[in-house]
Structure 1
Amino acid sequence: MTKEFIEFDDLIVEIKRSNRVKSATITVEESSVLVVVPRLLELERIKKLLKNKRQWIKEKIALHHEAQPKSNKEFVSGECFSYLGRNYRLKVNQGYYKPAKLINGRFCVTLFAGTDNADLIKDSLLAWYEKHADIKFNEKVKRYAEIMNVKFNSVSIKNYKSRWGSCSVEGDITFNWKVVMAPNRIVDYVVVHELCHLIHHDHSPKFWCEVERFMPDYLECKEWLKHNGAKLEL
């Protein structure tokens, strides 16, 4: 059975070709898509199949996301928000509007007097997280890319629903900003994971050997995300 990978709607789709099957089947698990097809089926027909099943694939991924517990934040003073694994309390001040900042161990947001807008506070915190995720991931990708002797094209941040990152065959790496809520070692793992896709653009045993080479405790990090990832929400 031979394997190949293509990109489809921000997903990396694994294609397995086999002489043992006569028709194509699609399997969706969390945010991964596997297509098993007859060995000689043309790539264009596989892409057409994926397009025809686009809505079904999205619904399957959405079901996994909906199964995860939602945030119960009220965005009021005293609530805790995590950054790099450490909790910081929110302080909502009154005055001229000032966006979220991390000051003296607190997330501070200033709203106009009489304003009590949870959505505004949430959006302000989201902007802060996205900005600092961009800074943090760019720093870490540059550092680890040098250590791993790989070359990337770009680093960007996205609000993924059910994945922590992606890496295109061209070397464009995208990370879920929510990862920076996790401990620093988990952030490192996600970076190493995506950079290893520049060596093996799949999740084959060879890929995981590369991950382990640069991060021997990767299984612990992987387990941490499995059990705590749903908590990384605003």
Structure 2
Amino acid sequence: MSKLLRRLLAPRAPILERDVTSLELGDGRRVEIQRVRNPRARRLRLSVDERGARLTLPTRASLVSGERFLAEHRDWLADQLARYTLDGLPTLQRDITTTLPLRGAQVPLRWSEGRFTCVDFDALAGEIIVRAPARAGDAALRRALRDFYEGQARADVGRWLPKYLPSLPRPPRRVAFKVMSSQWGSLAPNDVVALDLALVLARPSAFEYVLVHELCHLLRADHSRAFWREVELRFPSWRDERDYFHAEGRRVKATLRTLLSG
């Protein structure tokens, strides 16, 4: 079957309908909830992450049933929102922000005038430098910061990758960086490794572990005992990094999202 024919016969991706509703919690607070109607959903589902609350409805579910479902889960929602409320997350504010997270540490930040908006790392001074014209807006600063973090992440992967390649059946086709909501990494069927950009904010050993984890999927496509033996052979302290993510992962992800979204 040709590629064109497969594409024509492939089922269409479901169309998601989105809007926003609100709910008053037991303490009187009113919170917004993203409401998504998904044709693939089989039941009502309420979820919470660092971005907020989300209610998923099957196609035939009525809005009234959704409101009733929210009311029934009001206490659970309040508990989950409290769990995902993180205080003290850094923000990027011109001439105000004095440090930025990088590789598990807070690095001094210096602001400077420049013709173009860019973010650099001065290794000798041990500081991050943001150069920007006076007219540069917040969006330009956030784009430059994202480019900076991706450049630093690629530099880390470039240092680590060569020592693991000889023991793999083939190299990854490409390494891509994304802002992921739940995963830290993945390996696509075409051998493209995707890594969460937030990893560059975590301690380097945790970042390296995720890279090794995804590389080992080139050997084993599952999470069997054989897969974990491959991981342990290359990264014996992987359990320590897993514990680190359990303790700090939510804050690391939320920090990147806050810095890049304002």
Question: TM-score, with normalisation over the residues of structure 2?
Answer: 0.59
CA contact (8 A) 1:154 1:171 kept: yes
The AA in structure 1 aligned to 2:248 is: N
Q: 1:130 aligns with which of 143, 147, 150?
A: 150
Q: Which has the higher contact order (CA 8 A, sep 6+)?
A: 1
RMSD of aligned residue pairs (Cα, Å)? 2.9
Q: CA deviation at 1:163?
A: 1.4
Deviations 1:29-84 (A, max 9, x none): xxxxxxxxxxxxxxxxxxxxx97139978x74xx2343363734143445322222
Q: Map residues 37-56 of structure 1 onto 2, 5 A cutoff.
A: 52-53=40-41
Q: In the superposition, relative to structure 1, how do residues 74 and 173 fare at CA in structure 2: closer, same or farther (>3 Å)?
A: closer
User: For 1:102 and 1:55, how far apart are their aligned partners in 2?
Assistant: 49
Deviations 1:172-200 (A, max 9, x none): 11111211112221121011110111122
User: For 1:144 and 1:55, how far apart are their aligned partners in 2?
Assistant: 44
Question: TM-score, with normalisation over the residues of structure 1?
Answer: 0.66
Counterpart of 1:105 in structure 2 is: 126
Q: In the superposition, relative to structure 1, how do residues 138 and 95 fare at CA in structure 2: closer, same or farther (>3 Å)?
A: closer
Q: Map residues 182-201 of structure 1 onto 2, 5 A cutoff.
A: 182-201=202-221
Q: Map residues 64-103 of structure 1 onto 2, 5 A cutoff.
A: 64-66=49-51, 67=84, 69=86, 71-77=89-95, 78-103=97-122
CA contact (8 A) 2:103 2:202 kept: yes
Identity %: 22
Q: Map residues 1-234 of structure 1 onto 2, 5 A cutoff.
A: 52-53=40-41, 60=47, 63-66=48-51, 67=84, 69=86, 71-77=89-95, 78-103=97-122, 104-113=125-134, 115=135, 117-146=137-166, 148-151=167-170, 152-232=172-252, 233=256, 234=259
CA contact (8 A) 1:169 1:198 kept: no
Q: In the superposition, relative to structure 1, how do residues 123 and 134 fare at CA in structure 2: closer, same or farther (>3 Å)?
A: same
User: For 1:99 and 1:55, how far apart are their aligned partners in 2?
Assistant: 47
Q: In the superposition, relative to structure 1, how do residues 98 and 135 fare at CA in structure 2: closer, same or farther (>3 Å)?
A: same
Deviations 1:91-134 (A, max 9, x none): 22234334111122221112333x57444322211111112223
CA contact (8 A) 2:178 2:196 kept: yes
Aligned length: 181
The AA in structure 2 aligned to 1:112 is: P
Could you tell me which runs of 5 or more consecutive residues in structure 2 were left unpaired when the two chains were aligned.
1-12, 14-37, 52-83
Could you tell me which runs of 5 or more consecutive residues in structure 1 were left unpaired when the two chains were aligned.
1-8, 10-49
User: For 2:231 and 2:44, how far apart are their aligned partners in 1?
Assistant: 32
